[in-house]
Chain A
Amino acid sequence: MYSIVRPFVLHAVTSVHAGSGSEIGLVDLPIQREKHTGFPKIESSSLKGAVRYHMVQALPEEKKELDLIFGADRGEESVTQASAIALSDARVLLFPVKSLRGVFAWITCPHVLERWNQEMSIHQETISKENAFQPLPVPAPNTVSSDRLMAVNGRIVLEEYTFDVTISREAQQLAEQLATLIGEYSRLRLPERLVVLSDDDFVDFVKLSTEVNARIRISHETGTVDNGALWYEENVPPETFFYSFLYIGHARGNGINGLTTANDIEQYLVKSGKFPSVFQLGGNSTLGRGMMRTIWL
């Protein structure tokens, strides 16, 4: 039973390859997607694994605490330990798309915003009072937060597609609220770049505007591309925002060193800052991929 819920936003500082294996298609190594919507996602198991890996590397003296929190296999004492925390799949909130004016835009859609509101309200009672959840406004499709992206009056161009848009009060409110949540962590001026598209247009962009990179291997003998060494891999672009929930329960068993209740674990992970504020997730980590910034709500 989890008694504390802490929602958080994940900001992709670099491209992320949370992969789903290989596929027979144009893209050899696709990213994880929700089956029913096609939106990019990060599986909770990928997320938890990445966070755990980072913490184990960074805090080698605290193996016991980490085993207690993340769970452990049969160890020396021949007992298994169930995890005291859980994470939910990270869902997409904002997705960056190049824009003819203003360099790039952050797109979202009513479905995404409504889902956020609904999920936040489910946990309303367990989210502490001072962090009481403010529902996000759900603007009508084809509205923007400012005229910064407008190429000509009332029109924006994302990739090569033109949309007729209007500036709406709700979109401005939404942009302001999101900017407050995200705070100093993104330097790229969210309030000016927000676009709310229809659900269908949003799906098209998140399906077709991810980064698809051709990768090659140069043969050492010839200095040209190795035979068969061309593959395509897909990444979620940097500046994508996801959100997820950290569920905290009491430690199973007796706990150790002042780590017994859910409050203790929240203190350890969140308040004392041991849950990493920047960590790596997914494939190609040696190419700097998958740097994620954690932003607690």
Chain B
Amino acid sequence: MLFHPKDTRDVMQAASKSMAHLAYHLYYFLEHEWNDKKRVWELSKRLKPVPILPELKAVGEQLRAQREHAMAAWAQTGHVKKLKARLAGRIIHGLGAGHVRETSLTIHPVYGLPYIPASSVKGLVRHWWIEAYGQGEEKSLSEQKIGRDVFGTQEKKGMVQFHDIFLIDGLQLVRDALAVHMKEYYEGKKAATDDQKPVPVSFWTVTAAEVEIYLTANRSAQSDEEAKRLLEEAAAWTKAALTEWGIGSKTSSGYGRFIDVEDVTETEFLPVVRKETMRLEQRKKEQALLEQRKREEEEQAKLALLSPEERLVAEIEQLTDSQADQQRSKDILYSQVIQQQNKQAAQALLAYWQRIGQWEKSASKKQKEKINVIQQLLNGS
């Protein structure tokens, strides 16, 4: 029995094999069974196997690529660290969150994948730091500069940003169970005697292979080297916290422990950043070229509208100092000026030759002749 709108129930029963988003398996469509003795619908105790569909894996891969792409762009104007780690065993995050089964699991609302929210990661590393460097005193965090700078205080925000960790690679959901042996003792009703019935509680755990962990820091106008150093420190602490303590629920029973935490910033991430930088440069160049071409086309179009005389003047006025242009001014354009007997163009040519130093006495004999002709044209009636 499912407690959902009837139309949704029908669709779900027909399409139960194509549900990829894990929330539909874990939070929705929970089977209820009729308890004849108590005369109520009860949540079914059995956890049905949850498949990881190729569709979900594909979303995971796309998400991974998209995050890397965004981080590479971020690295153009900030600092990024990328770590990789392997999960030692199983992990469970969000076991105690509100759920009718009383055991839950954190699933991303959009991507449908299990993940460890950044708030957990930061909380863990911060707690670890206080134990390791702050004698277990919360106040030491605000007393020591490095703690203040990395994690922030009520007055000032931290310089390091922690990010969600997604469990994508080799993802499987595994059923697990714990048994409460002395229920009535925990309820405060009875002494812890041996005659109480154990109550099994089933819950979901996650196995995954490799995860990607990002840490970032803004570039700092005042102390950029310091920002880099703090990021480095934070990465080392994250590594220690994840391997020594683990993350999520039930870490004291060995869940959520990581091994082989490795800094892959140099080996894997920076090459991606460099590629992205090159791509951006390339695109900028292409755009500049495109605009250049557009400008030239516009110039051409403008010239096309002019009369031949006006066009000649415009052409001379646009000459640059390059050798090719200088040569052009002396043969093609010069002969056109003479041919058209174009005084305005002659004036422009004169101005150009003066600019490039071909009007002085130092000019060659041939050039002097041309200058003479131009002058005659200008002085003539």
Chain B, 106-143, CB within 8 A of any chain A CB? 109-112, 117-119, 122-123, 127, 130, 136-138
The answer to whether A237 and B136 touch across the interface, beta carbons within 8 angstroms, is no
A104 contacts the other chain (CB 8 A): yes
Chain B positions within 8 Å of A185 at CB level: 69
Chain B positions within 8 Å of A100 at CB level: 11-12, 15, 18-19, 21, 24
The answer to whether B118 and A103 touch across the interface, beta carbons within 8 angstroms, is no
Chain A positions within 8 Å of B119 at CB level: 213, 215, 284, 287
What is the size category of the interface that chain B forms with chain A?
Answer: 35 or more
The answer to whether A162 and B8 touch across the interface, beta carbons within 8 angstroms, is yes
Interchain CB contact (< 8 A) of A188 among B66, B109, B160: B66
Q: A58-B219, A187-B65, A220-B130 are in contact. Are A103 and B284 (CB under 8 A)?
A: no
The answer to whether A58 and B78 touch across the interface, beta carbons within 8 angstroms, is yes
Chain B positions within 8 Å of A123 at CB level: none
A126 contacts the other chain (CB 8 A): no
Q: Using CB atoms, name the residue of chain A closest to B130.
A: A220
The answer to whether A151 and B284 touch across the interface, beta carbons within 8 angstroms, is no
CB A222 to nearest CB in B, in angstroms, measures 12
The answer to whether B110 and A160 touch across the interface, beta carbons within 8 angstroms, is no
Q: Using CB atoms, name the residue of chain A closest to B53.
A: A103
Q: A211-B109, A287-B162 are in contact. Are A157 and B23 (CB under 8 A)?
A: no
CB A282 to nearest CB in B, in angstroms, measures 12
Report Cα–Cα, A285/B7, bound state, in Å. Answer: 41
Chain B positions within 8 Å of A239 at CB level: 110
B4 contacts the other chain (CB 8 A): yes
CB A4 to nearest CB in B, in angstroms, measures 15
B74 contacts the other chain (CB 8 A): yes
The answer to whether B20 and A186 touch across the interface, beta carbons within 8 angstroms, is no
Chain A positions within 8 Å of B122 at CB level: 286-287
Report Cα–Cα, A14/B162, bound state, in Å. Answer: 12
Interchain CB contact (< 8 A) of B69 among A130, A152, A187: A187
A60 contacts the other chain (CB 8 A): yes
The segment from A40-48, A70-78, A168-176, A273-281 found at the interface with B is: A273-281
B340 contacts the other chain (CB 8 A): no
The answer to whether A213 and B70 touch across the interface, beta carbons within 8 angstroms, is no
Chain A positions within 8 Å of B56 at CB level: 103
Chain A positions within 8 Å of B24 at CB level: 98, 100
A218 contacts the other chain (CB 8 A): yes
Report Cα–Cα, A128/B221, bound state, in Å. Answer: 35
CB B218 to nearest CB in A, in angstroms, measures 5
A291 contacts the other chain (CB 8 A): yes
Q: List 12 A-B contacts (CB under 8 A).
A: A57-B219, A60-B219, A60-B221, A96-B110, A98-B109, A104-B21, A161-B5, A162-B7, A186-B66, A188-B66, A280-B161, A286-B152
Chain A positions within 8 Å of B4 at CB level: 160
Q: Using CB atoms, name the residue of chain A closest to B141.
A: A220
B317 contacts the other chain (CB 8 A): no
Chain B positions within 8 Å of A96 at CB level: 110
The answer to whether B117 and A213 touch across the interface, beta carbons within 8 angstroms, is yes
The answer to whether A238 and B15 touch across the interface, beta carbons within 8 angstroms, is no
Chain A positions within 8 Å of B117 at CB level: 213, 287
Chain A, 1-48, CB within 8 A of any chain B CB? 13-14
Interchain CB contact (< 8 A) of B11 among A58, A155, A211, A278: A155
Report Cα–Cα, A160/B214, bound state, in Å. Answer: 33
Q: A13-B67, A14-B163, A286-B157 are in contact. Are A152 and B14 (CB under 8 A)?
A: yes
Report Cα–Cα, A185/B280, bound state, in Å. Answer: 13
Q: A56-B221, A272-B284, A273-B280 are in contact. Are A288 and B77 (CB under 8 A)?
A: no
Interchain CB contact (< 8 A) of B161 among A187, A238, A287: A287
B287 contacts the other chain (CB 8 A): yes
A102 contacts the other chain (CB 8 A): yes
A181 contacts the other chain (CB 8 A): no
Report Cα–Cα, A239/B63, bound state, in Å. Answer: 10
The answer to whether A160 and B284 touch across the interface, beta carbons within 8 angstroms, is no
Report Cα–Cα, A14/B76, bound state, in Å. Answer: 18
From A96, A151, A189, name the one whose CB has the most chain B CB atoms within 10 angstroms.
A151
Report Cα–Cα, A82/B359, bound state, in Å. Answer: 49
Interchain CB contact (< 8 A) of A187 among B21, B63, B219: B63
A interface footprint on B52-80 (CB within 8 Å = 1, 0 otherwise): 00011001001101110110011011100
Report Cα–Cα, A188/B136, bound state, in Å. Answer: 44
Chain A, 207-238, CB within 8 A of any chain B CB? 209, 211, 213-215, 218, 220, 237-238
The answer to whether B14 and A151 touch across the interface, beta carbons within 8 angstroms, is yes
Report Cα–Cα, A98/B219, bound state, in Å. Answer: 36
A interface footprint on B136-154 (CB within 8 Å = 1, 0 otherwise): 1110000000000001100
Report Cα–Cα, A211/B18, bound state, in Å. Answer: 24
B179 contacts the other chain (CB 8 A): no
Report Cα–Cα, A46/B205, bound state, in Å. Answer: 40
Chain B positions within 8 Å of A273 at CB level: 280, 284
